[in-house]
Amino acid sequence: MSRKTKERPKSTCDCVVVGGGLAGLVAACATAKAGLDVIHLAPAAPPDHRTSALMVPSVKILADLGLVDDPNALGEPLRKIRIIDATSRLVRAPEALFDSAEVNEQAFGWNFANAAMSTQFSQHVEALPNLNRLEASATGLTRVESGWMLALSDGRSIKTSLVVGADGKRSFVREAAGISINETRHKQSALVCDLKLSFPLNGESVEFHYENGPFTLVPAGGQRANLVWIEGVERLAEITALAPEAILAAIQERSQNLFGKLELETPAVVFPLSSFEADTMGKEGIVLVGESAHAFPPIGAQGLNLSLRDVAGLVGCVNKARLTRPDWATGVSKAYSGVRKADVRRTNMMVGGLFKSLLSGLLPAQALRAGGVWALKKLPPLRKSAFRLGMGPG
Ligand SMILES: Cc1cc2nc3c(=O)[nH]c(=O)nc-3n(C[C@H](O)[C@H](O)[C@H](O)COP(=O)(O)OP(=O)(O)OC[C@H]3O[C@@H](n4cnc5c(N)ncnc54)[C@H](O)[C@@H]3O)c2cc1C
């Protein structure tokens, strides 16, 4: 194991991280900081217009890696969450407001623009001497003695011990490694855009629950808010085909005019939604992090939070590994698969259950949902446990 410099020609390394999204960037930084000699494959990708609510434990992971110094300088604190049952169902939940002060935190987390995180993390990663970034895709993956040979889109080949697949939902690494998923494609998509409201949200995220999914305004600083609107696939296709004024009118109507006259600050972008979990998180020197390993609808802001816990879990396994052994990477992938299984399962089940319960029009489900919100409103200990569950393990 040696810390090599950026000047050396790179055809071998300890670890290749495949994918330049947020999970890949953080994984590249974390494995390099754990002492591995890392190559990061980050091909040019379209700009990510989403924002991510990252909870306090996730922000701590980023702070420990030196990627975020002051979260208030990069994002907007999420201090309160308001839930409004906007359905016309027979049994409706009461309106509820949850405050992070109850769990002695200044905020549940922060809302960060993905593009701003990407820029900040990339600058940090550039400065690491044992990390090399290449603007190339992985196109081939072959097992070789005590490791893997990766073929790149620019014609190069790299031999490595550990491969970190952070290449998103349609992961090449996952497929090449023969790791299967059982994907459910949902009948809903998510529309995302930035809005200007007539007044600031002051750290309060407002979530309307409609029959086809939540319509959530997340504070983005000043009078700005990020909208995540989950709706039927066909309905969102109809809406995005409209002129900007008509799109805004549809959003205005769904917001129940509670925020005054709205302005559209960015074009509306739609993301198809699906759920899956990889049948293993790692094997034979290959590990999966982020959406290559798990995906679910953006309910309760869990996706990237879970991905950051993947990276923290991977670093824990690398730190415990005996890196002088020729098969250290196989050991890391096996240990990683073991340590990440329960958290991924638990989060997937929690989000899946919540999503189903929000969509179900059946009377028992309505009663359960309304009773659940009522109990959370009335019972502080239950509320605190729910907050801790939603914020994820520390
Ligand atoms: C509408 C919406 C709102 C969300 N809000 C939140 C939230 O509030 N909080 C939260 O925690 N999560 C949220 N999520 C989830 C979160 O955005 C994702 O979990 C996260 O962005 C996934 O990051 P990733 O790096 O795993 O994947 P991606 O961002 O998809 O990155 C994968 C990268 O791999 C690259 N790639 C693909 N193939 C190859 C290859 N062969 N070689 C090299 N590179 C390759 C791609 O170019 C891409 O850059 C939201 C998701 C959606 C859809």
Interval 230-252: pLDDT, tens: 999 999 999 999 999 999 999 99
pTM for the model stands at 0.92
* Residue whose CA is at the smallest distance from ligand 1 atom 17: 304
CA 263 to chain centre: 27
DSSP characters over 229-276: EEEEHHHHHHHHTS-HHHHHHHHHHHTTTTTSS-EE-S--EEEEEEEE
Give the SS3 label for residue 19.
Answer: coil
Which atom of ligand 1 is least distant from the CA of 55?
Answer: 11
Return mean pLDDT, the chain.
91
In the chain, which stretches have pLDDT less than 50? 1-5, 7-9
End-to-end CA distance of the chain: 31
Q: What pLDDT does residue 363 have?
A: 65
Which atom of ligand 1 is least distant from the CA of 302?
Answer: 11
* Residue whose CA is at the smallest distance from ligand 1 atom 52: 298
C-alpha closest to that of 370 among 89, 102, 100, 99: 89
Which atom of ligand 1 is least distant from the CA of 292?
Answer: 26
Cα(327) to centroid of ligand 1, in Å? 30
Contact of 310 with 347, CB cutoff 8 Å: no
Distances (CA, A) of 72 to 77, 107, 222, 394: 7, 10, 13, 20
Contact of 188 with 249, CB cutoff 8 Å: no
Which atom of ligand 1 is least distant from the CA of 41?
Answer: 43
Ligand 1, CB within 6 Å, residue ranges = 18-24, 41, 43, 45, 50, 52-54, 137-138, 166-168, 172, 190, 192, 228, 271, 290-291, 298, 301-305, 307
Distances (CA, A) of 217 to 78, 87, 147, 235: 11, 17, 46, 19
What are φ and ψ of residue 52, in 5° steps?
A: -130, 125
State how far the Cα of 295 lies from the Cα of 183, in Å rounded to an integer: 9
* Residue whose CA is at the smallest distance from ligand 1 atom 5: 52
